[in-house]
Amino acid sequence: MKDWAYTVDLVDDPEIIRQYDDYHANIWPEVAESLKAVGMHELKIWRMGTRMFMLIRTDDDFDPVEAGQQHLANHPRCKEWEELMMSFQRRLPGIPGEGTWAEMPQVFDLG
């Protein structure tokens, strides 16, 4: 199994943060099914203020780019969900690439 860690900030607005939390408390079934179908065994998100941390557990041969493309193609609601969630998020300054979530490299493992 492999773990993937990502971070992003939410827009600093209490109403936007409340909406984001509400959406994730009631994730659309098509989105949850698609995330599992592309190989995400676990996906957890933590939030402190506007800072978010996401941990995804997959098989070792998981390709996040390929999985992301497949997820968007699985159902029209998946693309709608991702675009909606991105409207609540702010990309961290200085992070290269596309999208909002930035991959975090692992720097320590007690195991």
Q: What are phi and psi of 42, to 5 degrees?
A: -140, 145
95: domain CATH number is 3.30.70.1090
Q: What tens digit of pLDDT does each residue of 10-41 get?
A: 999 999 999 999 999 999 999 999 999 999 99
Alpha helices in the chain (DSSP H): 14-25, 29-37, 64-74, 76-88
Q: What tens digit of pLDDT does each residue of 33-45 get?
A: 999 999 999 999 9
In a domain, 92, yes or no: yes
In a domain, 76, yes or no: yes
Q: What tens digit of pLDDT does each residue of 75-99 get?
A: 999 999 999 999 999 999 988 888 8
In a domain, 85, yes or no: yes
Number of domains in the chain: 1
Distance CA 37, CA 88 (A): 25
pTM of the model: 0.93
Query: What 8-state DSSP symbol labels residue 20?
Result: H
Q: What are phi and psi of 46, to 5 degrees?
A: -115, 150
In a domain, 27, yes or no: yes
Range of the domain at 78: 2-104
Q: What are phi and psi of 97, to 5 degrees?
A: 100, -170
Neighbours of 78 (CB within 10 A): 22
In a domain, 25, yes or no: yes
Strand partners, 10: 89
In a domain, 110, yes or no: no
